[in-house]
Amino acid sequence: MSTYEYLLTHEIKPSQQRICLMEFLLKHRIHPTAEEVYSRLSPSMPTLSKTTVYNTLKLFVQKGAAQMLTIDERNACFDADITKHAHFLCKECGKVYDLHEVPSHWQQLPEDTLGHLIDEVQLYYRGTCRKCAEKQAKKKLKPTK
Protein backbone atom coordinates (compact mmCIF):
# COMPACT_ATOMS: atom_id res chain seq x y z
CA MET A 1 0.00 0.00 0.00
CA SER A 2 1.34 3.42 -0.91
CA THR A 3 1.83 6.10 1.71
CA TYR A 4 -0.91 8.01 -0.08
CA GLU A 5 -3.38 5.19 0.47
CA TYR A 6 -2.08 4.59 3.96
CA LEU A 7 -2.94 8.14 4.94
CA LEU A 8 -6.39 7.80 3.41
CA THR A 9 -7.15 4.68 5.45
CA HIS A 10 -6.51 6.84 8.50
CA GLU A 11 -8.78 9.61 7.22
CA ILE A 12 -5.89 11.96 6.61
CA LYS A 13 -6.03 14.03 3.47
CA PRO A 14 -2.74 13.24 1.75
CA SER A 15 -0.98 16.50 1.03
CA GLN A 16 2.63 16.73 -0.19
CA GLN A 17 3.99 17.43 3.26
CA ARG A 18 1.94 14.78 4.99
CA ILE A 19 3.10 12.16 2.53
CA CYS A 20 6.74 13.11 2.97
CA LEU A 21 6.51 13.13 6.76
CA MET A 22 4.71 9.81 6.92
CA GLU A 23 7.11 8.32 4.40
CA PHE A 24 9.99 9.41 6.60
CA LEU A 25 8.44 7.89 9.70
CA LEU A 26 7.68 4.63 7.96
CA LYS A 27 11.07 4.31 6.29
CA HIS A 28 13.40 5.21 9.11
CA ARG A 29 12.29 3.11 12.00
CA ILE A 30 13.88 5.50 14.47
CA HIS A 31 11.83 7.48 16.97
CA PRO A 32 12.40 11.02 15.87
CA THR A 33 11.49 14.19 17.71
CA ALA A 34 9.71 16.96 15.83
CA GLU A 35 13.03 18.76 15.63
CA GLU A 36 14.71 15.69 14.12
CA VAL A 37 12.00 15.25 11.52
CA TYR A 38 12.36 18.87 10.56
CA SER A 39 16.14 18.89 10.30
CA ARG A 40 16.27 15.66 8.31
CA LEU A 41 13.55 16.64 5.85
CA SER A 42 14.26 20.33 5.59
CA PRO A 43 17.15 19.99 3.09
CA SER A 44 14.95 18.21 0.56
CA MET A 45 11.87 20.30 1.39
CA PRO A 46 13.14 23.87 1.45
CA THR A 47 9.80 25.46 2.28
CA LEU A 48 8.96 23.08 5.09
CA SER A 49 8.13 24.86 8.31
CA LYS A 50 8.60 23.61 11.82
CA THR A 51 5.01 24.48 12.64
CA THR A 52 3.87 22.15 9.88
CA VAL A 53 5.96 19.38 11.36
CA TYR A 54 4.35 19.86 14.76
CA ASN A 55 0.85 20.15 13.29
CA THR A 56 1.27 17.15 11.06
CA LEU A 57 2.72 14.89 13.73
CA LYS A 58 -0.12 15.86 16.05
CA LEU A 59 -2.60 15.07 13.29
CA PHE A 60 -1.04 11.65 12.72
CA VAL A 61 -1.41 10.88 16.40
CA GLN A 62 -5.01 12.10 16.55
CA LYS A 63 -5.92 9.95 13.56
CA GLY A 64 -4.12 6.94 14.95
CA ALA A 65 -1.50 6.80 12.21
CA ALA A 66 1.37 7.25 14.65
CA GLN A 67 1.93 7.20 18.37
CA MET A 68 3.61 9.77 20.53
CA LEU A 69 6.12 8.62 23.12
CA THR A 70 6.80 10.62 26.26
CA ILE A 71 9.59 8.34 27.41
CA ASP A 72 12.13 11.11 27.11
CA GLU A 73 11.46 13.86 29.61
CA ARG A 74 12.84 16.53 27.33
CA ASN A 75 10.77 16.10 24.21
CA ALA A 76 8.12 13.99 22.65
CA CYS A 77 9.11 11.52 19.97
CA PHE A 78 7.05 9.73 17.37
CA ASP A 79 6.63 6.20 16.16
CA ALA A 80 4.81 5.16 12.99
CA ASP A 81 4.69 1.60 14.30
CA ILE A 82 1.26 1.68 15.92
CA THR A 83 1.30 -1.89 17.18
CA LYS A 84 1.50 -2.06 20.94
CA HIS A 85 5.13 -2.59 21.88
CA ALA A 86 7.42 -1.60 24.73
CA HIS A 87 10.12 1.05 24.45
CA PHE A 88 13.53 1.46 25.98
CA LEU A 89 15.30 4.78 26.55
CA CYS A 90 19.05 4.89 27.02
CA LYS A 91 19.81 7.49 29.63
CA GLU A 92 23.36 7.80 28.32
CA CYS A 93 22.84 8.50 24.63
CA GLY A 94 19.14 9.37 24.66
CA LYS A 95 18.25 6.86 21.97
CA VAL A 96 14.88 5.12 22.04
CA TYR A 97 14.67 1.45 21.07
CA ASP A 98 11.73 -0.80 20.33
CA LEU A 99 11.37 -3.81 22.58
CA HIS A 100 9.08 -6.18 20.73
CA GLU A 101 10.43 -9.12 22.70
CA VAL A 102 8.70 -8.15 25.95
CA PRO A 103 5.89 -10.59 26.85
CA SER A 104 2.60 -8.93 26.01
CA HIS A 105 0.58 -9.27 29.23
CA TRP A 106 0.84 -5.58 29.88
CA GLN A 107 -1.04 -4.72 26.71
CA GLN A 108 -4.33 -6.04 28.03
CA LEU A 109 -6.42 -3.50 29.86
CA PRO A 110 -6.88 -4.18 33.58
CA GLU A 111 -10.26 -5.31 34.89
CA ASP A 112 -10.42 -2.69 37.60
CA THR A 113 -9.66 0.79 36.36
CA LEU A 114 -11.40 2.70 39.19
CA GLY A 115 -13.97 3.82 36.66
CA HIS A 116 -11.47 5.45 34.37
CA LEU A 117 -11.85 4.89 30.64
CA ILE A 118 -8.57 3.74 29.19
CA ASP A 119 -7.72 4.18 25.54
CA GLU A 120 -3.96 3.91 25.51
CA VAL A 121 -1.22 1.85 27.20
CA GLN A 122 2.51 2.34 27.04
CA LEU A 123 5.33 0.45 28.70
CA TYR A 124 8.62 2.24 29.14
CA TYR A 125 12.00 0.89 30.21
CA ARG A 126 15.00 3.07 30.94
CA GLY A 127 18.63 2.25 31.52
CA THR A 128 21.85 1.90 29.54
CA CYS A 129 21.75 0.55 26.01
CA ARG A 130 24.05 -2.18 24.75
CA LYS A 131 26.31 0.18 22.85
CA CYS A 132 26.77 2.57 25.76
CA ALA A 133 27.31 -0.32 28.17
CA GLU A 134 30.07 -1.67 25.93
CA LYS A 135 31.72 1.72 25.71
CA GLN A 136 31.67 2.06 29.47
CA ALA A 137 33.17 -1.41 29.87
CA LYS A 138 36.04 -0.51 27.54
CA LYS A 139 36.75 2.68 29.44
CA LYS A 140 37.15 0.75 32.64
CA LEU A 141 39.67 -1.63 31.09
CA LYS A 142 42.09 1.15 30.26
CA PRO A 143 41.44 3.78 32.90
CA THR A 144 44.75 5.68 32.52
CA LYS A 145 45.92 6.71 29.10
Partner DNA sequence: ATATAAAATTGTAATTATTACAATTCCGTA
Partner DNA sequence: TACGGAATTGTAATAATTACAATTTTATAT
Question: Which residues form the interface with DNA (CB under 7 A)?
Answer: 13, 15-18, 33-35, 45, 47-52, 54-56, 58, 73-76
Distance CA 96, CA 125 (A): 10
Distance CA 102, CA 90 (A): 17
- Smallest distance from the beta carbon of 31 to DNA, in angstroms? 12
Question: What mask, x for binding its own copies by CB under 8 A, covers residues 113 to 132?
Answer: xxxxxxxxxxxxxxxxxx--
Q: Name the residue among 78, 23, 75, 29 with its Cα closest to residue 45.
A: 23
**Residues between 52 and 91 that touch its own copies (CB under 8 A):** 68, 70-73, 76, 86, 88, 90
Binding at 112: pick from its own copies, DNA, none (beta carbon under 5-8 Å per type): its own copies
- Smallest distance from the beta carbon of 63 to DNA, in angstroms? 11
Distance CA 9, CA 7 (A): 5
Q: For residues 36 and 102, which CB has a smaller minimum distance to DNA in the complex? A: 36
H/E element holding 78?
strand 77-79
Are the beta carbons of 129 and 95 closer than 8 angstroms? yes
Strand duo 77-79 + 67-69: pairing: antiparallel
Q: For residues 74 and 130, which CB has a smaller minimum distance to DNA in the complex? A: 74
Residues near its own copies (CB under 8 A) are: 68, 70-73, 76, 86, 88, 90, 97, 99, 101-103, 105-106, 109-110, 112-130, 133
